[in-house]
A and B are shown apart, each in its own frame.
Chain A
Amino acid sequence: MASLINVFLIVVLLTVLVPLGVLVMISLLPPGEWSIPPKSPTLDNFVYVLKEFKFYRNMLNTFLFIGLAILISLILALPTAYAIARLQIKYYVWVFTVALVILVKSLPPGSLLVPVYELLWKLRLTNTVLGVALSYQVYTLPFVIWILTSFLLDLPREVETAARIDGAGRFARLRHIILPLSIPGIISAVILGFLNLWNEYMYSSVIVSSRNLQTAAVVLGQLVTSEYVYDWGILASANIISVLPAIFFVSFVQKNISKAITGGIKG
Chain B
Amino acid sequence: MSFLTKIRRRTPNEFFLVPGLVGLGIFVFAIGYSIYMSFYRYKLGFMQPNYVGLTNYSMLLHDPVFTTAIKNTLFFVAVASTSELLYGIFLAVLLYWSNKRYLFIPFLIVPMILPAVNLVVIWRFLFHPDYGFVNQILTSIGLSAINPLNDPKWAMPTIIIMDIWQMTPFVMIIILAGLSTVPPEVLTAARIDGARKLQLTLRILLPMTKNVILAVFLLRLIDAFRIFAKVYLLTRGGPGIATETIELQIYNRALRGLEIGLGSTMSVIFILISLVVIIPYTIMVLKNWRR
A residues engaging B (CB < 8 A)?
1-2, 5-6, 8-9, 12-13, 15-17, 19-20, 22-23, 26, 34, 36, 73, 75-77, 79-85, 87-90, 93, 95, 97-104, 106-119, 121, 137-138, 141-142, 145, 149-150, 153, 169-171, 174, 195, 198-202, 206, 217, 220-221, 224-225, 227, 232, 235-236, 239, 242-243, 246-247, 250, 254, 257-259, 261-262, 264-267
Those of B8-45 within 8 Å (CB) of chain A:
8-9, 13-14, 16-24, 26-28, 30-31, 33-34, 37, 44-45
Most B C-beta atoms less than 10 A away, residue of A80, A106, A199: A106
How many chain B residues touch A (Cβ–Cβ < 8 Å)?
Answer: 95
Question: What's the Cα separation between A247 and B232 when bound, in Å?
Answer: 24
Asked if residues B212 and A19 are in contact (CB atoms below 8 Å), the reply is no
A90 neighbours in B (Cβ, 8 Å): 14
Point out the residue from A80, A119, A246 that lies within 8 Å of B21, measured CB to CB. A80
Asked if residues B282 and A103 are in contact (CB atoms below 8 Å), the reply is yes
Report the minimum CB–CB distance from B282 to chain A (whole Å). 4
Question: What's the Cα separation between A98 and B270 when bound, in Å?
Answer: 22
Question: What's the Cα separation between A79 and B19 when bound, in Å?
Answer: 7
Point out the residue from B97, B222, B282, B288 that lies within 8 Å of A2, measured CB to CB. B97
Asked if residues B282 and A106 are in contact (CB atoms below 8 Å), the reply is yes
Report the minimum CB–CB distance from B44 to chain A (whole Å). 6
**A19-B174 in contact given A114-B267, A242-B118 (Cβ < 8 Å):** no
Asked if residues B30 and A80 are in contact (CB atoms below 8 Å), the reply is no
* 20 A-B interface contacts by CB (under 8 A): A2-B97, A6-B100, A13-B104, A19-B122, A22-B125, A76-B23, A83-B13, A89-B17, A95-B286, A97-B21, A99-B286, A107-B278, A110-B250, A113-B267, A114-B267, A119-B30, A170-B13, A170-B16, A225-B236, A265-B174
Asked whether any CB of chain A lies closer than 8 Å to the CB of B177, the reply is yes
Asked whether any CB of chain A lies closer than 8 Å to the CB of B126, the reply is yes
Question: What's the Cα separation between A267 and B278 when bound, in Å?
Answer: 17
Asked if residues A115 and B30 are in contact (CB atoms below 8 Å), the reply is yes
Point out the residue from B17, B251, B281 that lies within 8 Å of A113, measured CB to CB. B251
Point out the residue from B14, B120, B246 that lies within 8 Å of A224, measured CB to CB. B120
**A112-B31 in contact given A79-B20, A80-B16, A106-B282 (Cβ < 8 Å):** yes
Asked if residues B173 and A258 are in contact (CB atoms below 8 Å), the reply is yes
Report the minimum CB–CB distance from B254 to chain A (whole Å). 6
Q: Say whether chain A's binding surface is mostly helix, strand, loop, or mixed.
A: helix
Asked if residues A77 and B285 are in contact (CB atoms below 8 Å), the reply is no
**A227-B124 in contact given A16-B111, A79-B16, A202-B251 (Cβ < 8 Å):** yes
Asked whether any CB of chain A lies closer than 8 Å to the CB of B260, the reply is yes
Question: What's the Cα separation between A101 and B21 when bound, in Å?
Answer: 9
Asked if residues A104 and B288 are in contact (CB atoms below 8 Å), the reply is no
A267 neighbours in B (Cβ, 8 Å): 288-289
Q: Which 5 A-B pairs have the closest CB atoms?
A: A80-B20, A267-B288, A83-B16, A115-B30, A114-B263
Question: What's the Cα separation between A216 and B1 when bound, in Å?
Answer: 54
B233 neighbours in A (Cβ, 8 Å): 201, 221, 224-225
Q: Say whether chain B's binding surface is mostly helix, strand, loop, or mixed.
A: helix
Question: What's the Cα separation between A149 and B285 when bound, in Å?
Answer: 12
Asked whether any CB of chain A lies closer than 8 Å to the CB of B160, the reply is no
A264 neighbours in B (Cβ, 8 Å): 285, 288-289
Flag the segment in B60-68, B150-158, B223-231 that touches A. B223-231
Asked if residues A75 and B19 are in contact (CB atoms below 8 Å), the reply is yes
Smallest CB-CB separation from A18: which chain B residue? B133
Asked whether any CB of chain A lies closer than 8 Å to the CB of B215, the reply is yes
Those of B194-215 within 8 Å (CB) of chain A:
197, 212, 215
Smallest CB-CB separation from B261: which chain A residue? A114
Asked whether any CB of chain A lies closer than 8 Å to the CB of B136, the reply is yes
B106 neighbours in A (Cβ, 8 Å): 254
Report the minimum CB–CB distance from B133 to chain A (whole Å). 5
Asked if residues B267 and A112 are in contact (CB atoms below 8 Å), the reply is yes
Question: What's the Cα separation between A82 and B104 when bound, in Å?
Answer: 38
Asked if residues A206 and B289 are in contact (CB atoms below 8 Å), the reply is no
Asked if residues B117 and A220 are in contact (CB atoms below 8 Å), the reply is yes
Report the minimum CB–CB distance from B94 to chain A (whole Å). 5
A23 neighbours in B (Cβ, 8 Å): 118, 121-122, 125
Question: What's the Cα separation between A142 and B222 when bound, in Å?
Answer: 15
Report the minimum CB–CB distance from B199 to chain A (whole Å). 13
Asked if residues B270 and A101 are in contact (CB atoms below 8 Å), the reply is no
Smallest CB-CB separation from B136: which chain A residue? A36
Asked whether any CB of chain A lies closer than 8 Å to the CB of B46, the reply is no
Asked if residues B20 and A76 are in contact (CB atoms below 8 Å), the reply is yes
**A100-B270 in contact given A5-B98, A224-B233 (Cβ < 8 Å):** no
A99 neighbours in B (Cβ, 8 Å): 282, 286
A206 neighbours in B (Cβ, 8 Å): 251, 255
Asked whether any CB of chain A lies closer than 8 Å to the CB of B113, the reply is yes
Smallest CB-CB separation from B107: which chain A residue? A13
B291 neighbours in A (Cβ, 8 Å): 85, 153
